[in-house]
Amino acid sequence: MPFFTDKFETYVYGSNISGNHITTKQLKAVLFSKDKTIVHCHRNNEILRMLYYRFLGANFTVVATRHAESKPSSLTLFLLKKADKVVTLIKSMSANLGVKNTLIGHGVQVEKFTPDTAKKLQHISQDHIILNAGRVRKAKGQLVLLEALKNLKEFSNWALVIVGKVDKPVFLEELKAIVKKHQIENQVYFIDETRDIISYYQAAKIVVAPSFSEGFSLVTAEAMSCENTVIATKNVGVHSELITDGQNGYLFEAGNNDELEEILIKLLKDEIPMTSKAAREEIIKNWSAKKEAERLSELYLKN
């Protein structure tokens, strides 16, 4: 949002986002004014609401971002076709959507997601951290990660920290059972979803993104910006576009815990290099929030 202020008068309608918030009354005043207005929607209910206001006579441009890689429902497809412009996040999403769209990936606030090698987490006793962040669900691959770390007890000064909201408690119990089976209970920590995720990136040395599917995978980009060595699944979300294997991170086949284990063990034994500096350089060069704002601004102003 800060990168739009030199070109646009910007407002935010909704929650969980910082910016110049407006009320419903103020929103209606903007939509029904004679000013050229662009409304950027991210969910079906937002598009529906805007289409309703348009039906009532409001005049504005609707931009909609598609966040999921999966095939859209008939309702979603209908709504996207009603939007004036559609944004997709990754190549496969753009190619398979079935609606004319513009590919603009997420950007990272590189001034905010910065490295801090002195950062420590008080509740973690080990000196070195492997981090997994995001939703705790089967599609995110935490089962694969835990099986790949079955020999973690051989590296007593390393911990695995899993941070994220648990979708189903039964899945968390399944993960804890694997931890117990491998006798690594003292090295694995489950942390609930937190707004202070940057501290976890900064305290970690390695971040693993073992997911089977992603709409984009902002966690990977944020972790790279904080100079983590990232290990991620090939051709999932934006992983293979962000990471050049062996140069600014490492890639493995989704579901292949043996391949993941090999990479992790080599990193812990210093047999292959950490890629922290190159990772941040890639984000600054190609994936910053400023670059995303520039691309969106071009789309907004394009007839």
Tell me: the pLDDT tens digits for 40-56? 999 999 999 999 999 99
Say whether both 101 and 61 belong to one domain: yes
Say whether both 152 and 42 belong to one domain: no
Say whether both 168 and 63 belong to one domain: no
Say whether both 278 and 294 belong to one domain: no
Q: What is the mean pLDDT of residues 82-97?
A: 94
Q: What is the mean pLDDT of residues 9-33?
A: 91
**How confident is the model at residue 221, as a pLDDT?**
97
Judge whether 121 lies within some domain.
no
Percent of the chain with pLDDT over 90: 91
Q: Domain total for the chain?
A: 2
* pLDDT per residue as tens digits for the range 61-84: 999 999 988 889 999 999 999 999
pLDDT over threshold 80, residue 16:
no
Average pLDDT, the chain: 95
**How confident is the model at residue 274, as a pLDDT?**
97
* pLDDT per residue as tens digits for the range 173-189: 999 999 999 999 999 99
Judge whether 115 lies within some domain.
no
Residue 135 CB contacts under 8 Å (≥ 6 apart), including other chains: 164, 165, 167
Say whether both 36 and 162 belong to one domain: no
Q: What is the mean pLDDT of residues 26-35?
A: 96
Say whether both 87 and 132 belong to one domain: no
Q: 201 falls in which pLDDT band (50, 70, 90)?
A: very high
Judge whether 232 lies within some domain.
yes
**How confident is the model at residue 18, as a pLDDT?**
79
Range(s) of the domain holding residue 13: 2-107+288-301
pTM of the model: 0.88
**How confident is the model at residue 68, as a pLDDT?**
87
Q: 15 falls in which pLDDT band (50, 70, 90)?
A: confident
In 3D, which of 246, 244, 301 has the Cα closest to residue 273?
246
* pLDDT per residue as tens digits for the range 240-292: 999 999 999 999 999 999 999 999 999 999 999 999 999 999 999 999 999 99
